[in-house]
Structure 1
Amino acid sequence: MTIFTIDEVKKTFTNGEVEEQVLKGVNLALQEGEVTALVGASGSGKSTILTIAAGLQRATEGDILFEGKSLTKMSQEQIRKIRASEFGFVFQSAHLVPFLTVEEQLLLMLNVSESKMKKREQKEEVEKILKLVEMNHRKDAYPASLSGGEKQRVAIARAIIHKPKMLFADEPTASLDSKRSKDVMTLIRDLTKTLNITTLMVTHDEEMLPYADHIITMRDGLIV
């Protein structure tokens, strides 16, 4: 089932009197329980379409539909609430809070997403998700003591702890070696299927493409 639609999205950036059209009319439909990978050369527009889809910036023209509702017509506060409750994010760097333990990182995300779970239920949910990503044995550890792969596993757990419907991943393996990259991509793929998440990922690493259900190539602001 289609849960997310990008409809004729265009994006123009203005620098003084100079205008640059980065996206020239992008159309894309994303299905539940599937991983879609966006690939293309630097400057092709793949990261721009990801940030627009995630509600982190506005399109110049076109529409973004999430569960049939137009994000383009929503206020910034409405989009913020959707990002907090329905979207999850994984970036190239884990961006973990240095003074919080692994468990505390996830509890913080539940609070940000305005979870209605009681304290005990939150702790049980954190334990469940950490087991899914094989990090429960490190729940009391601080980021400084984690390896790069472990940090990304925690970042993924944090991104899905509030049970989002969409997962946006921007170069999630770029800072990892080959083995850890494959481990992280296996985890993203398996969680997408297990939790029926819709995942949109930007990557430049061709070795990660076999983990995607769909591969979308962008060139000069268009899907080719």
Structure 2
Amino acid sequence: MTIFTISELRKTFTTGEVAEEILKGIDLTLQQGEITALVGASGSGKSTLLTIAAGLQPASDGKILFNGRNMTDMSQEQIRKIRASDFGFVFQSAHLVPFLTVEEQLTLMLEVSETKLKKEQQKMEIAEILKLIGMEHRKSAYPASLSGGERQRVAIARAIIHKPKILFADEPTASLDSKRSKDVMELIRNLTKTMNITTLMVTHDEEMLSYADHIITMKDGLAE
């Protein structure tokens, strides 16, 4: 089922009197329960496309439909609410809060995403997601005591604990070695399928493309 559609998306950055068109009319459709990978050279526009799709910056022109709703016509507050409730984010670095345990990281996410779960329900959701990522034995650990792969697993858990409809992943394996990269991608793929999430991922690592259902190559602001 189509959950996200981008039509004729354009983005222009202006520096002084110089205007540079970074995205030149992108069309993109995302299906529920599938991973779409964006690849391309540095400067091809893939990260710009991801951040605009995620509502983190505005487009210059075009249309973004999420669940049939036009995000390009929404206010910043409406987009913020969608990001909090329906979107999840994973980046190259885990960006965990250093003074919070693994369990507390996930509790904080449930609270800011406005799931309105009671404390007991929160604990059940957290226990379930920690079991899914194989980290239930580390729930009381702080980020400093976790390996790079473990930190990224917690970051993924934090991104999906509120059951978002779309997961945006920007170079999620870039800071990991080959084995940990494969472990993280296995996790993202398994969660995408079991939770029926739609995942849009930027990657430069060709080995990670085998985990994607669809591959879109970005070149000079165009999608191929």
TM-score by length of 1: 1.00
Matched, 1:65 2:55: no
Could you tell me which amino acid in structure 1 is paired with residue 95 of structure 2? H
* Aligned positions, number: 224
CA distance in 2, matches of 1:196, 1:8: 27
Instruction: Report how far residue 143 of structure 1 moved.
Output: 0.2
Q: 1:81-160 residue pairs with structure 2 within 5 A?
A: 81-160=81-160
1:74 is matched with which residue? 74
Could you tell me which amino acid in structure 1 is paired with residue 10 of structure 2? K
1:25 is matched with which residue? 25
Could you tell me which amino acid in structure 2 is paired with residue 69 of structure 1? R
Q: 1:133-212 residue pairs with structure 2 within 5 A?
A: 133-212=133-212
Instruction: Report how far residue 201 of structure 1 moved.
Output: 0.1
CA distance in 1, matches of 2:65, 2:122: 31
Unpaired runs of at least 5, structure 1 = none
- Deviation track 1:23-43 (CA, whole Å, cap 9, x = no partner) reads 000000000000000000000
Could you tell me which amino acid in structure 1 is paired with residue 90 of structure 2? V
Unpaired runs of at least 5, structure 2 = none
1:16 is matched with which residue? 16
CA distance in 2, matches of 1:64, 1:180: 34
Instruction: Report how far residue 80 of structure 1 moved.
Output: 0.2
TM-score by length of 2: 1.00
Instruction: Report how far residue 200 of structure 1 moved.
Output: 0.1
Could you tell me which amino acid in structure 1 is paired with residue 162 of structure 2? H
What is the percent sequence identity of the aligned residues? Answer: 79
CA distance in 2, matches of 1:159, 1:195: 13
Matched, 1:56 2:59: no
CA distance in 1, matches of 2:123, 2:17: 53
Instruction: Report how far residue 115 of structure 1 moved.
Output: 1.3
